[in-house]
């Protein structure tokens, strides 16, 4: 790697992204209950970050790996910086959370406010004694040889007790089979209590005869990566099932305590857990005092009817030419391009359902990566198989944290007669496509759906993604080849419109970027616009740096991780990077290359990550239809114009663009534009 190039660290760049998410919660132009959701998103994001990324770094440290990454950090150095930045973010989150809760009081919404004096406490009494207390099992630790095993992400109370001059320590593991929170309506107001908040209020009732000296809530985060050795896997379904439960038992990577307590008390729990994890009492760097409820996921489910607490209702649209139309007939006339959530994903799910009931449809093939827990699409596939259609489904079992759900769907599909395969043990199937063959006038016509996003009815309403439907013969033939590749029939195909990783996508990107580099070096116009979720691939980034240094105009729209460092004098002055964080999660991948005036535009499932280009099956599809290209260019132009929800990266720091937080209805918000045509 050329030493003149500089890069941002992957993990620290991700933390920058999550901080941008948190700052949405501080944005006064965002409705109050939506701000709570951004706090919850920040927290759940951080949980996964520790379970996967921090866990991986700790594994490297345990293996005595101390090589520097391309950003110049060793694993111990990254862990140290993560600790500093996470503590700073957690402190900021507590400030924002308390501020939002205080504002909500003026709207009659109270979130476990300890100062409530006029609430009828009999309601809480009933909840505690009827729904919580019967499920609580306090454990006295003094009488136990060691700490009971604490599973991943379980909420627990650690209590210091006194009785007849003797000190005792107790543990309460918060039951999982009780509601996470309770809502009480009183005098037109809403009062929210989490189960742990109620336990805290009644904790003296749990220990009659004891004096409660002190207590705190804690939870541990454990390594959650699945330890599957690909070379040894013959039955991937069984391997996934066997390893899902291992997440609960793996080593501790974080200890959270809800508030500061005397050193000797926190030292007790660190000692217990440190011994259990094999780390002695060395949990100091892994200990985080939050000043917050430890599980903020309940904030997703706060429901209020008062005006102004949420975004205005958003209704996805159906384009006029598709209202009441048969998708097969519409796709024969022209290619169909849709942009979620502005256009309704039900167009796609209904089409898949209709295909299963269409007497002329002979076969259906589909990839499933992440699906909704109550997926109508899976039901439609099962129905198609029951109607005698030839249904083949490639299910990616290794979609992180959706493994259990995907195993369930895979079994259901097999039981209904679908042919189910699981791709490859050493790489994920990340391509999103649906292929159906239909007999029309004595010939077989193939219809293809290609998407940048998942077949998930829930996330389709909150993620921006592109859906593309075509009956073009070349595309149908190449997607057929892709399914043959994924299902293991062969691994060598000629692809023209379609590029596939790990086969030829990396080289295709090299060629496309290289062409712009040569054009710029020759004094001709050269331009690249890339919209993706993440960028972390030193080889690709070197090519981008070379193109920028040659004079190509390069604009990157990267929501999350970006290890490129734009704006460095003499290196990346022609490269700009912006991140858009708003109401919807920007998920679409769109690539544009000026190509000597030919202006090539692609949609893809692939980010510019080493894993996407080398360890996943991804598709990269050139859109040639003029009207569809115009739609994609409009999306890119709106993203570039946005100055309300954008953050611009210079070096390693992001700066918010646009108007001040107290100014409303000003500037340009790309997520409020009309993409529903």
What does the block give as tokens for 612? 């996407």
Conformation bin of residue 432: beta by default, left when phi > 0, alpha when psi is -120 to 50 = beta
Q: Report d(CA 498, CA 617) in Å as an integer.
A: 12
Q: Is 64 a catalytic residue?
A: no
What does the block give as tokens for 98? 């308390």
Residue pair 642/580 in contact by the 8 Å Cβ criterion? yes
What's the Cα-to-Cα distance from 396 to each of 2, 57, 158, 348, 435, rounded to whole Å? 36, 26, 40, 20, 17
Beta bridge partner(s), residue 553: 527
What does the block give as tokens for 270? 């660190």
Secondary structure (3-state) at 442: coil
Q: Report d(CA 280, CA 45) in Å as an integer.
A: 29
Residue pair 540/551 in contact by the 8 Å Cβ criterion? no
What's the Cα-to-Cα distance from 601 to each of 94, 243, 379, 597, 623, rounded to whole Å? 43, 41, 34, 12, 6
Distance of CA 128 to the CA centre of its chain: 35
Q: Report d(CA 604, CA 584) in Å as an integer.
A: 19
Catalytic residue (choose from 42, 64, 390, 430): 430
Q: Report d(CA 317, CA 258) in Å as an integer.
A: 44
Residue pair 364/434 in contact by the 8 Å Cβ criterion? yes
Angle between helices 10-25 and 32-49 (to 10 degrees): 160
Q: Report d(CA 524, CA 583) in Å as an integer.
A: 39
How many Cβ atoms are within 10 Å of 403's Cβ, its own excluded? 18
Closest-CA residue to 218 (of 154, 142, 280, 140): 154
Residue pair 104/190 in contact by the 8 Å Cβ criterion? no
**Catalytic residue positions?**
430
């Amino acid at each position: 790697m050329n030493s003149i190039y500089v890069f941002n660290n992957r993990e620290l760049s991700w933390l920058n992204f999550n901080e941008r998410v948190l700052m949405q919660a501080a944005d006064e132009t965002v409705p109050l209950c939506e701000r709570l959701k951004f706090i919850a998103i920040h927290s759940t994001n951080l949980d996964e970050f520790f379970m996967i990324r921090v866990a991986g770094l700790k594994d490297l440290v345990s293996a005595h790996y101390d090589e520097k990454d391309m950003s110049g950090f060793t694993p111990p150095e990254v862990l140290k910086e993560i600790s500093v930045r996470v503590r700073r973010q957690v402190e900021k989150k507590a400030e924002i959370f308390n501020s939002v809760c205080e504002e909500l009081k003026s709207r009659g919404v109270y979130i476990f406010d300890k100062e409530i004096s006029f609430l009828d406490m009999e309601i809480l009494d009933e909840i505690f004694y009827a729904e919580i207390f019967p499920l609580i099992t306090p454990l006295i630790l003094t009488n136990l040889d060691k700490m009971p095993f604490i599973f991943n992400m379980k909420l627990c109370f650690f209590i210091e007790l006194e009785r007849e001059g003797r000190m005792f320590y107790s543990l309460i593991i918060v039951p999982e089979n009780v509601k996470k929170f309770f809502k009480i309506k009183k005098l037109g107001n809403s009062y929210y209590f989490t189960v742990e908040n109620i336990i805290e209020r009644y904790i003296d009732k749990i220990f009659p005869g004891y004096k409660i000296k002190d207590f705190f809530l804690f939870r541990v985060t454990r390594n959650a990566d699945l330890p599957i050795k690909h070379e040894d896997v013959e039955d991937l379904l069984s391997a996934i099932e066997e390893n899902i439960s291992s997440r609960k038992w793996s080593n501790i990577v974080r200890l959270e305590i809800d508030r500061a307590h005397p050193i000797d008390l926190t030292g007790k729990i660190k000692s217990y857990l440190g011994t259990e994890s094999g780390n002695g009492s060395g949990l100091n760097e892994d200990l985080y005092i939050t000043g917050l409820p430890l599980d903020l996921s309940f904030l997703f489910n706060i429901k209020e009817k008062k005006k102004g607490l949420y975004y205005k209702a958003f209704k996805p649209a159906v384009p006029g030419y598709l209202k009441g139309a048969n998708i097969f007939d519409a796709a024969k006339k022209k290619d169909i391009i849709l942009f979620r959530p502005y256009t309704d994903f039900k167009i796609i799910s209904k089409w898949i359902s209709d295909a299963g009931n269409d007497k002329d449809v002979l076969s259906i093939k589909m990839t499933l990566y992440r699906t909704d827990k109550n997926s109508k699409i899976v039901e439609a596939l099962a129905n198609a198989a029951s109607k005698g259609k030839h249904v083949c489904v490639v299910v990616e079992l290794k979609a992180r944290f959706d493994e259990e759900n995907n195993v369930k769907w895979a079994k259901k599909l097999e039981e209904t007669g679908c042919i189910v395969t699981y791709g490859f043990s050493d790489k994920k199937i990340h391509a999103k496509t649906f292929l159906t063959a239909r007999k029309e006038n004595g010939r077989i016509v193939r219809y293809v759906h290609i998407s940048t996003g998942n077949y998930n009815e829930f996330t389709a309403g909150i993620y921006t993604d592109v859906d593309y439907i075509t009956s073009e013969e070349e595309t149908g033939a190449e997607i057929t080849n892709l399914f043959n590749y994924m299902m293991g029939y062969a691994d060598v195909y000629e692809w023209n419109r379609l590029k596939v990783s790990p086969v030829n996508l990396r080289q295709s990107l090299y060629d496309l970027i290289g062409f712009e580099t040569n054009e710029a070096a020759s004094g001709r116009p050269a331009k690249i616009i890339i919209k993706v979720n993440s960028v972390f691939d030193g080889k690709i980034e070197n090519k981008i740096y070379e193109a920028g240094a040659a004079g190509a105009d390069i604009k990157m729209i990267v929501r999350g991780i970006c290890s490129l460092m734009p704006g460095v004098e003499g290196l990346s002055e022609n490269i700009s990077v912006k991140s858009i964080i708003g109401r919807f999660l920007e998920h679409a991948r769109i690539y544009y290359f000026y190509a000597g005036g030919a202006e090539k535009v692609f949609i893809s499932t692939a980010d510019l990550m080493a894993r996407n280009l080398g360890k996943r099956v991804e598709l990269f599809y050139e859109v040639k239809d003029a009207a569809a290209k115009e739609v994609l260019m409009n999306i890119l132009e709106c993203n570039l114009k946005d100055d309300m929800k954008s953050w611009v990266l210079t070096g390693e720091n992001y700066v918010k663009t646009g108007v001040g937080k107290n100014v409303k209805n000003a500037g340009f918000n790309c997520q409020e534009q009309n993409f529903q045509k």
